[in-house]
Structure 1
Amino acid sequence: MKIAIVDDNVTNLMIIEKILQKAGYPRLVKLKSAKELYQYLQLDGAGPSSVVPVDLILMDLMMPEIDGLEACRTILADERYCDLPIIFVSAMGDSYKMAEAMDAGALDYVMKPINKVELLARIRSVLRLKHEKDLRKERDQRIQYELDLARQVQRSMLSRPIQEGDVTISAVYKPSFELAGDLYAWYKISPSRYGVILLDMMGHGISSSLICMYIYSALKDTITGISDPEQVMKELNRRMNQLHMPDSLLNYYFTAIYFVLDTEERSIEYVNAGHPQGMALVDGEVRMLDKGCCALGFFEEIEVAKGVIPYKEGARILLFTDGLSEWLEEEYADAREKLISCLQENDNPESLLHQLQPCSELVSAQKDDMCLVMVSAN
């Protein structure tokens, strides 16, 4: 614990020094002006330091050249010292001046002539506040580190682009929060069959992200082992219902589109579970992916209807979450037609999203996670 005492009066410096030493504060720095304090804190251009050299400043309010108010504002304006506690010591009893001192960022003040009991009590109080603030800052840093780690883990789950033979699969992912509730994945089921899913978990943040990870743990075995869209959706619904707790007022659910692309049979079998309708451009015609069931997690048993879209010449399939569709509805009079025209003109999601946004400010103002998945088959 180190305390800086700043006062242009040598007698006051000695008095405060003796009081603090007898009270068990031996590590003291005596400075005669704000300039000396600036030099000690390296605010004079001597070069930045990541180490805060003092834990508390006791500073005279009225000093020549640079008074305590100006010094307080200058110190606290520096990012390194924004949380450094400052107590003013002043002979002035003007309540307006004291209010101005507190507005400058000081945590407390002591009147001269100095009352030893009062000075020590105020120091203890301010140091307690500093200790609690340091603990909160340490906790926040730890939480931020864990969030960053969770975000890296979540991003690592997302499938990498596929480009093999006549099939291309890729995605664009723009989360609105550090941890998102959107998830996409694709797996090669057989030499000619690919299973692709895009889901959107209710809500945002840590809880939605954890449930996404839970569902992800079941995706590969479910898709590669079952593959059929109807049965895959029923299995994922069963998994979601395993999370429900009798006493919980909130049941999580998610919407999803899952389809199997068969390049040998030249067909797309899909189920839409309450998700925004995806679209398939097949043989020059746009088909909506609108058949399916309700969102997954609401009911223990669900009725599922599968849609089948055959193609001859080629297919281009676009899936997206409601973050994109809601954003489009704000920007375009006919969002569906805008999407269709962009799908017809673009063969990858990056260029499609770029065409959709007239200026970069729109994406920065997004309110929800935004995800697009595009699959092309020739």
Structure 2
Amino acid sequence: MSIIIVDDNTANQLVVKAILNKAGYTDLIFASSAQKLFDILGVHSRIVKVRDAELILMDLMMPAVDGLEACKILQADDRFKDIPIIFVTAVGDSSKMAEALDAGASDYVMKPINRMELLARIRSALRLKKEIDWHKERDTRMKNKLELAKQVQRSVLSKAIDDENIEISAVYQPSSELAGDFYGWYQIDRHRYGVILLDMMGHGISASLVCMYISSILRDTITRMSDMEQAVLELNRYMNQLHMEDELINYYFTAIYMVIDTMEKTFEYVNAGHPAGIAYADDRIELLEHSCGAIGLFNTLNVKKKRLHYKKELNIILYTDGLTDAIEHGSEIAAEHLVTLLDNKKGLEPAEIIQQMLPECNSTNQKDDICLVKVRSK
């Protein structure tokens, strides 16, 4: 732990040194000007002489670059802005002291130096530095854990399918590190495919954890249970297991779950409170509208699947409400308007569809997760 003392007066340096040495502070570094301080820290170069500076004691009035300007320069650099700066000065102007504190200084001590006052302010500043360092270390650990969680979350999303029967792909644009949208598709047998897109309540860690919980049971639920209605009821049962008495709200998600049979040229679906998907079946356009409430919101669900046929070609576009919110800036959008917007884009890849519909949208300005899934039978 180093304390840097910046003063153009050697006598002042010796006074401060004597006080600090007697109090047990021995790792002291001296600089006769702000420029010398910059050289020690490597402010304007890559050569760093001191990497563990814990505190800077600095004179306010110095030639060339004064203490106030030096403080502003350090505060503007992310490498040094957390190092506490205590001004040791003979300037008694209260407005000047206020300006120094506004520039980022932690404290100040007036000359002639009162030993007890200086040591008390040093201890206070070092406690602050220790707390800042603890928070930075914790934030770094949390960031690393969030990055790992994001990678795990992305890894369980289904990879694109392009086989002799069907083509399924998606684009996912989360609004934060961890998101609440999830999609998956699973081949049930040679000609049948189960596809689900869901939007979990909330964002962040809790939504991500619940998504991971559901993803762990989806494959088995979809491939094992041939009855779609029973599969949705099973998911509802799992979600209701998450309810805690102390929580004021239940965890729930909206979803569209469908099974496509490329041999029989049919697809069945359940829309559990999700925005209506759009199916282009030959020359018809079908809206995949609600058939039951959100999954996990209530203990019981009245689930009714719907069945549609096609003869030659089937294109389906599913999306989460982050897409419609971004289009209308949070307002409701008529389904017919969305059909019109998507009609000439159904031949594009999902990422191209999003890019054309939301050319200026990115993760820094979007308010919700955006996910779009495209299904095309062959």
Give the TM-score of the pair, scaled to structure 1: 0.95
Superimposed CA distance per residue, residues 30-89 of structure 1 (whole angstroms, 9 cap, x where no aligned partner): 22111211211122x432549634211111111122211111111222221011111101
1:35 is aligned to 35
1:206 is aligned to 205
Pairing 1:294-309 to 2, within 5 Å after superposition? 294-309=293-308
- Distance in 2, matches of 1:26 and 1:15, equals 14
Match of 1:288, SS state, is strand
Deviation (angstroms), 1:101? 1.3
Match of 2:61, SS state, is coil
Superimposed CA distance per residue, residues 206-251 of structure 1 (whole angstroms, 9 cap, x where no aligned partner): 1111111111111000000003221111110111111112332121
Match of 1:106, SS state, is coil
Contact 1:188 1:195 in 2 (8 A): yes
Pairing 1:46-85 to 2, within 5 Å after superposition? 46-47=45-46, 49=48, 52-85=51-84
Cα distance change, pair 354–78 in 1 and its aligned pair in 2 (3 A): closer
RMSD of aligned alpha carbons: 1.8
Cα distance change, pair 145–336 in 1 and its aligned pair in 2 (3 A): farther
Contact 1:274 1:295 in 2 (8 A): yes
Superimposed CA distance per residue, residues 330-351 of structure 1 (whole angstroms, 9 cap, x where no aligned partner): 4997563343452454333222
Match of 1:136, SS state, is helix
- Distance in 2, matches of 1:128 and 1:339, equals 60
Match of 1:190, SS state, is coil
Superimposed CA distance per residue, residues 126-172 of structure 1 (whole angstroms, 9 cap, x where no aligned partner): 00011011101111111111111111110111000000003100001
Superimposed CA distance per residue, residues 350-378 of structure 1 (whole angstroms, 9 cap, x where no aligned partner): 22223322x32477532111111110002
- Distance in 1, matches of 2:140 and 2:258, equals 42
Deviates more, 1:46-55 or 1:5-14: 46-55
Cα distance change, pair 50–61 in 1 and its aligned pair in 2 (3 A): closer
2:372 is aligned to 372
Cα distance change, pair 72–355 in 1 and its aligned pair in 2 (3 A): closer
Pairing 1:8-23 to 2, within 5 Å after superposition? 8-23=8-23
Unmatched runs of 5 consecutive residues or more in structure 1 = none
- Distance in 1, matches of 2:182 and 2:252, equals 13
- 2:211 partner letter: C
Provide the aligned length of Structure 1 versus Structure 2: 376
Contact 2:41 2:49 in 1 (8 A): no
- Distance in 2, matches of 1:199 and 1:111, equals 63
- 1:277 partner letter: A
Q: Find out whether 1:310 has 2:337 as its counterpart.
A: no
Cα distance change, pair 166–341 in 1 and its aligned pair in 2 (3 A): farther
- Distance in 2, matches of 1:371 and 1:142, equals 29
Pairing 1:170-185 to 2, within 5 Å after superposition? 170-185=169-184
- Distance in 1, matches of 2:249 and 2:187, equals 35
- Distance in 1, matches of 2:363 and 2:31, equals 52
2:146 is aligned to 147
Deviation (angstroms), 1:105? 1.0
Cα distance change, pair 246–105 in 1 and its aligned pair in 2 (3 A): closer
- Distance in 2, matches of 1:356 and 1:48, equals 49
Give the TM-score of the pair, scaled to structure 2: 0.95
- Distance in 2, matches of 1:38 and 1:291, equals 65
- 2:34 partner letter: A
Unmatched runs of 5 consecutive residues or more in structure 2 = none
Q: Percent identity?
A: 54
Contact 1:195 1:223 in 2 (8 A): yes
1:86 is aligned to 85
- Distance in 1, matches of 2:259 and 2:375, equals 11
- Distance in 1, matches of 2:220 and 2:149, equals 23
Contact 2:254 2:274 in 1 (8 A): yes
